[in-house]
Structure 1
Amino acid sequence: MTFSLVARCRETGMFGVAVASSSPAVAARCAYARAGVGAVASQNITDPTLGPRALDLMQSGASAAEAVAIIRRTAPHADYRQILVVDATGMSAIHSGPNALGTFAEANGPDVACGGNLLADSGVPAAMAAAFTASSGHLGDRLITAMQAGLDAGGEAGPIHSIGMKLVRDVAWPVADLRIDWTEGDPVAELASLWRLYEPQLDAYVTRALDPRVAPSYGVPGDE
Structure 2
Amino acid sequence: MNVKQAQEDVRRVYRAGFSGPLVAAVIWAAASAASQWGSSATAMAVLFFGGMLIFPLSSLVLKLMGGPASLAKGHPSIALAMQSAFTVPLGLLVAIALGAVEPSLFLPASLIIVGAHYLTFISLYGMRSYGVLAGVLVAVGAVAIFAVPALRDLSGWIGCVVLLVFAGSLFVAYRAEFQHTAALTSPALRDGGISDVS
Q: Which has the higher strand share?
A: 1
Instruction: Tell me if both proteins adopt one fold, taking TM over 0.5 as the criterion.
Output: no
Give the TM-score normalised by the residue count of structure 1: 0.28
- Structure number with greater Rg is 2
TM-score normalised over the length of structure 2 = 0.31
Query: Whose RCO is larger (CA < 8 A, sep 6+)?
Result: 2
